[in-house]
Amino acid sequence: MFRATSFALLMLSVANPALADEVTDTLSSALQAYEDGDIKYAIEELDYAKQLLQAMSAQELTSFLPEPPDGWTREIGESDMNVGLSFLGGGAAAEATYSDGTETFTISIMADNPMVAMFGGMISNAAIMGLKTHRVGREKFLFDDGDLTGLIDGRIIVQASGADPEVMIAILEEIDFNGLKEFGR
């Protein structure tokens, strides 16, 4: 399967040089190393291709961070979250800081990390655990220790922290949760 996929990517990039990019070049290099018997280098190239693809995924995830409302600014974080995720089983993350000069808070989105699933039970059972929840559109967010945390589609965590819940909810409501559910599919 790997050989067929790599061969198809290689042929696609050869047939149309405009489609060649760093990912296809790296996959081609991995395939060549494999064919040359250099398994160690093939693995290194595959790991690098995975990093490149995860960076592309994180960039796509950034598009779900809401635009700031009038009077607010948004700064997209060059977060180390994606590096940390690689040690925790992979996935993608994006983060932005919002400020109106008085209030400042952060929205983080983390997708497709194995640790995300553990939050599902906690959010589902928030009332039993005595924790407060808020609705953001049709999504349920747990409010704990100043953080709003929602589990979207069982695989994506959206978290806002650093300001009054009502301030954060107003901006969280701008997230396209239906589109976010389709992320990576």
Whether 43 and 68 map to the same domain: the answer is: no
Q: What span, in angstroms and rounded, lies between the C-alpha atoms of 139 and 177? A: 8
Q: Are residues 82 and 160 in the same domain?
A: yes
Amino acid letter for position 126:
A
pLDDT of amino acid 121: 67
- Statement to judge: residues 140 and 50 lie in one domain: no
Tell me the pLDDT tens digit for each residue of 123-143: 667 667 777 888 898 998 988
Over range 87-94, report the average pLDDT.
67
Q: In percent, how much of the chain has pLDDT > 90?
A: 43
Between 13 and 184, the higher pLDDT residue: 184
Residues 80 and 144 in one domain: yes
Range ranked top by mean pLDDT from 48-57, 71-80, 110-119, 169-178: 169-178
Q: Examine the fold and report which residue of 32, 58, 84 is the final residue of a domain before the chain moves on.
A: 58
The pLDDT of 102-116, averaged and rounded, is 87
Identify whether residues 121 and 68 lie together within a single domain: yes
Instruction: Please report, for the domain that includes residue 108, its CATH number.
Output: 3.40.1000
Report phi then psi at 169, rounded to 5.
-60, -40
Give the Cα-Cα-Cα angle 153, 135, 118 (nearest 5 degrees): 40
Q: Do 147 and 167 belong together in one domain?
A: yes
Structural domain tally of the chain?
2
Predicted local confidence at residue 37, as pLDDT: 93
- Residue 86 predicted with pLDDT over 80: no
What is the mean predicted confidence (pLDDT) over 95-101?
95
Give one word for 176, left, alpha or beta, with left for phi > 0 and alpha for psi -120 to 50: beta
Same domain? For 68 and 54 the reply is no
| Spatial separation of the C-alpha atoms in residues 86 and 88, rounded to whole Å | 5
Do 7 and 51 share a domain, yes or no? yes
Lowest mean pLDDT among 41-50, 57-66, 110-119: 110-119
Structure tokens that stand for 111 in this block: 């997708």
Render 101-164 in DSSP notation, one character per residue.
SS-EEEEEEEES-GGGHHHHHHHHTTTTTT-EEEEETTEEEEEETTEEEEEETTTEEEEEESS-
Mean pLDDT of 39-52: 88
Residue 159: predicted pLDDT: 94
* Domain with 75 in it: 63-181
Q: Are 68 and 126 contained in the same domain?
A: yes
* Angle (CA) 148 151 155, round 5°: 145
Residues 81 and 108 in one domain: yes
What kind and span of H or E run contains 89? none
CB 92 within 8 A of CB 82: yes
